[in-house]
Amino acid sequence: MKIDVILGLQWGDEGKGKIVDYLASNYDIVARFQGGPNAGHTLKFDGQKHVLHTIPSGIFRENLINVIGNGVVIDPITLQKEIDNLNKTGVSFLDRLFVAKKAHLILPTHRHIDAATESFKGKEKIGSTLKGIGPTYMDKTGRNGLRVGDIMLPNFKERYEALKEKHNSILKLYPEIDFDLKAEEEKWFAGLETLRSLKQINSEYFINKALKSGKRILAEGAQGSMLDIDFGTYPFVTSSNTVSAGVCNGLGVAPSTIGEVIGITKAYCTRVGSGPFPTELTGEVGEYLRAEGGEFGATTGRPRRCGWIDIPQLNYTIMLNGVTQLVVTKVDILNNFDEISVATHYHYDGKQQDELPFDLSNVPVEPVYKQYPGWKQSLDGVRNYEDMPINVKNLVGAIENQLNVPVSIVSIGPERQELVMKEIKELVN
Ligand code: GDP
Ligand code: IMO
Ligand code: MG
């Protein structure tokens, strides 16, 4: 068997949670491979909304195993809150939730450092979610980190204190900011007890054995490819590899085990936090998209920046990920437009270009747009692709054509069932 991958092709919040939840019923295991509680994945079904940060989006599917892989960074406080929320829903999941022993732990002082360093950056700030992601991955690569498996060791407390002391000495370099370490530590150690009670695994063996025995595995990405530490809009990125290559070191599997790579894009584009965004709409249209699309961060509640869909950007992330099929989400948010714009190229260095420059922050890139007619009607209740308005088909067909990858699903609402499996390839242009 192969591992299929679902990941975001833009700057995050493409609707990964919804699509993973929907497709999960075809799999035996859903595994997160990177990121941490900076992620906010929203699922809606039976009129209820659920937001997951660390726990994979397959958790609501009966009998399905959910793995938090070694590439993920875990904050026991957030994990505890997620578990408490899940417990309230009545879903039984603790025997289906597995945590990699090699996953790194986010300490309260990692969050403190995150806040202090962001505040120190002033206008240059990244717009981090302040969940301690950067400092934790820094300790991982700096070979100082603490891992889930370490909490079982008799000297864990000493190691924790040593790392905390190191963090406190770093914090002396920064202006003081409000942070109640004592209160956070109390919650952290309580969360640690819960983490201790979960099923801890050597996830690399677990996943590879599952593959060998014919289990179907879906890897769930967090963030988006444009936030990848190597290929995103650096330094306005997160600290992990969000692209499909991250599946290999985030779960411990060989490149040859990767099967379908399902790339998700909104029918427009959003970004939360700082950094370049070539097709951003700062006026009325952007505000309309934000209001209509409910574009506020699922983790921080911050308003998301909105803009048109960007073909050069998507072609870049499709290339990086080896995307084999596309999912286009939030098409319904465009229901009321007379015309919809698609950025087909960039103009910079005096000519039309298809490739992204080295650094989007420092090159004044002008998107070249093409307009497509809107459909001016609700898509509520549409369940067959044939029943979609012709102008939806034209737009989806144009996107598909310019990206050279087939669209398999078109999502038209936040609820689990609000999507259309696209069977017929309608190509315009
Ligand atoms: P993720 O981080 O990629 O899982 O995405 P988020 O959950 O942060 O943001 C996506 C938002 O869009 C959530 O509020 C979803 O409920 C919602 N959503 C997902 N797909 C659709 C869709 O097709 N139409 C509409 N209207 N909302 C959607
Ligand atoms: P999901 O999985 C959107 C952004 C932050 C910031 C930058 C670095 O829900 O798509 P970090 O907290 O990692 O230090 O922040 O990355 N960011 C996200 N934006 N969706 C996310 O996750 C994000 N996770 C991080 O806003 O600009
Ligand atoms: Mg999100």
For 179-205, the pLDDT digits (tens) are: 999 999 999 999 999 999 999 999 999
DSSP-assigned letter for residue 304: P
Q: What is the rounded CA–CA span in Å between residue 55 and residue 42?
A: 12
Give pLDDT, residue 211: 98
Distance from the CA of 289 to the center of ligand 3, in angstroms? 16
Q: What is the rounded CA–CA span in Å between residue 133 and residue 161?
A: 20
Q: Residue 51 CA: which ligand 1 atom is closest?
A: 7
Shortest-distance ligand to the CA of residue 273 = 2
Catalytic annotation, residues: 13, 41
Give pLDDT, residue 298: 87
Going by their DSSP bridges, the two strands 407-411 and 419-421 should be labelled as antiparallel
Shortest-distance ligand to the CA of residue 236 = 2
β-bridge partners, 367: 346
Query: Could you say which residues of the chain have pLDDT below 50?
Result: 424-429
Give pLDDT, residue 423: 63
Mutate which of 6, 23, 30, 42 for ligand 1? The one with the most ligand atoms within 8 Å of its CB, which is 42
Q: Is the dihedral of CA 311, 238, 411, 258 positive or negative?
A: positive
Q: Is the C-beta atom of 217 inside 6 A of ligand 2?
A: no
Distance from the CA of 223 to the center of ligand 2, in angstroms? 6
Structure tokens at 318: 């499709």
Give pLDDT, residue 18: 98
For 287-298, the pLDDT digits (tens) are: 999 999 999 998
Mutate which of 42, 50, 129, 300 for ligand 2? The one with the most ligand atoms within 8 Å of its CB, which is 129
Q: What is the rounded CA–CA span in Å between residue 324 and residue 260?
A: 6
For 251-287, the pLDDT digits (tens) are: 999 999 999 999 999 999 999 999 999 999 999 999 9
Q: Is the C-beta atom of 303 inside 6 A of ligand 2?
A: no
Distance from the CA of 267 to the center of ligand 3, in angstroms? 16
Neighbours of 258 (CB within 10 A): 20
Going by their DSSP bridges, the two strands 48-52 and 41-45 should be labelled as antiparallel
Distance from the CA of 12 to the center of ligand 2, in angstroms? 7
